[in-house]
């Protein structure tokens, strides 16, 4: 137990260091953008006195390292600042959008994870069969297409040709749960087609890799059915790489939804960061980027810890 706690503490410490480095990269990346933020916000007709007052209001007159420390300390205290576009608190803007993004990711996960595991197990059971080859072709095809291409194909088929689904996923706080689920279905299916291939192929590869083991051969010699051998003997020992790729793909669902949200005009965190970039709302862009980075780091650390905990060879190295 102490080894597990020590390993978790080491991973968390490493995650904090990575998050600090990422925050520094985000801040420097925004600072190195060409142009003057005050001039861009106020326009070319702004007087020098107005520009100076606006820079002082945004603390742009302070040195870069002081502004970074103030921004980082504010983030640690939950103070994201105010939006330059509308003057609202950034935490208020992000709270609503983050809830929508998490809802979309949850719906996608509930569809993609069971479906991927089932298809991967079946592909391992019927290896080199017509089913296995068909699934491999379909998954390789889906993984080769970018998200926006799949989204537009689904919109063309199910919204324009068949008229079954709306092309826009415009949800709000007042939207009932059933209606929200219906409006979120098209973006969720798009993300499912994107992430399902990784999880399905990893499940298939992990199980097939264990089928040549001696204990699997002994189970076959006992006359056990192929389904029982795979589900009761091979699958539990293949959980470490499967859990790893599942959690990493869940991280992608959180941080990789930007394109899908823009295509379907879904009011999530991805849509917010795109709108903020267009408006040069730098504080919102920085806050969204840091939230995306923190989410990805946390989920990757979770995948790392779960893969070690579920694998005795990694948990108790010789």
Counting as low any pLDDT under 70, the low residues of the chain are 1-3, 33-46, 51, 54, 57-61, 85, 212, 310-318
**What is the pLDDT, as a whole number, of residue 108?**
86
Identify whether 63 is part of a domain: no
Q: Is the separation of the CB atoms in 106 and 186 below 8 Å?
A: no
108-162 confidence digits (pLDDT tens)? 888 888 888 888 888 877 778 888 888 888 877 777 777 788 888 888 888 888 8
**What is the pLDDT, as a whole number, of residue 313?**
59
Identify whether 43 is part of a domain: no
Domain count, the chain: 1
**What is the pLDDT, as a whole number, of residue 46?**
67
**What is the pLDDT, as a whole number, of residue 130?**
85
Identify whether 24 is part of a domain: no
**What is the pLDDT, as a whole number, of residue 43?**
63
b/e per residue 263-279 (b: at least 16 CB within 10 A): bbebbbbbbbbbbbeeb
Identify whether 172 is part of a domain: yes
**What is the pLDDT, as a whole number, of residue 74?**
78
Identify whether 289 is part of a domain: no
Identify whether 148 is part of a domain: yes
Backbone angles phi and psi of 255, in degrees to 5 = -100, -10
Identify whether 36 is part of a domain: no
Alpha carbons within 13 angstroms on the beta-carbon side of residue 42 total 17
For residue 43, give Cα distances in angstroms to 38, 54, 203: 8, 12, 55
pTM assigned to the model: 0.77
Identify whether 230 is part of a domain: yes
Identify the CA nearest to 84 among candidates 309, 264, 277, 266.
277
**What is the pLDDT, as a whole number, of residue 116?**
85
**What is the pLDDT, as a whole number, of residue 163?**
81
Give the domain CATH number at 165: 1.10.3720.10
82-112 confidence digits (pLDDT tens)? 777 677 778 878 888 888 888 888 888 888 8
Q: Is the separation of the CB atoms in 239 and 312 below 8 Å?
A: no
Structural domain span for residue 171: 100-280
């Amino acid at each position: 137990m102490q080894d597990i706690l020590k390993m978790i503490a080491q991973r968390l410490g490493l995650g904090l260091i990575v998050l600090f480095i990422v925050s520094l990269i985000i801040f420097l990346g925004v600072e190195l953008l060409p142009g003057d933020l005050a001039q861009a916000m106020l326009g070319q007709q702004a007087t020098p006195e107005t520009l100076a007052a606006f820079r002082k209001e945004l603390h742009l007159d302070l040195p870069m390292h002081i502004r970074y420390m103030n921004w980082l300390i504010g983030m640690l205290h939950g103070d994201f600042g105010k939006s330059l576009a509308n003057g609202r608190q950034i935490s208020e803007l992000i709270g609503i959008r983050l809830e929508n993004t998490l809802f979309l990711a949850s719906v996608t996960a509930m569809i993609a994870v069971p479906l991927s595991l089932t298809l991967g197990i079946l592909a391992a059971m019927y290896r080199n069969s017509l089913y296995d080859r068909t699934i491999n072709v379909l998954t390789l095809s889906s993984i080769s297409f970018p998200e926006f291409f799949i989204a537009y194909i689904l919109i063309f088929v199910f919204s324009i040709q068949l008229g079954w689904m709306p092309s826009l996923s415009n949800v709000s706080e007042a939207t009932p749960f059933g209606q929200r689920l219906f409006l979120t279905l098209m973006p969720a299916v798009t993300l499912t087609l994107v992430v399902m291939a990784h999880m399905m192929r990893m499940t298939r590869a992990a199980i097939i890799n264990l089928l040549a083991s001696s204990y699997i051969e002994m189970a076959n010699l006992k006359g056990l059915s192929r389904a029982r051998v795979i589900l009761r003997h091979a699958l539990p020992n293949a959980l470490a790489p499967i859990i790893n790729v599942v959690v990493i793909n869940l991280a992608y669902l959180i941080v990789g939804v930007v394109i899908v949200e823009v295509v379907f005009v879904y009011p999530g965190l991805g849509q917010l960061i795109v709108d903020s970039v267009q408006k040069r709302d730098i504080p919102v862009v920085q806050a969204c980027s840091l939230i995306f980075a923190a989410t990805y780091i946390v989920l990757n650390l979770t995948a790392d810890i779960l893969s070690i905990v579920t694998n005795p060879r990694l948990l108790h190295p010789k």
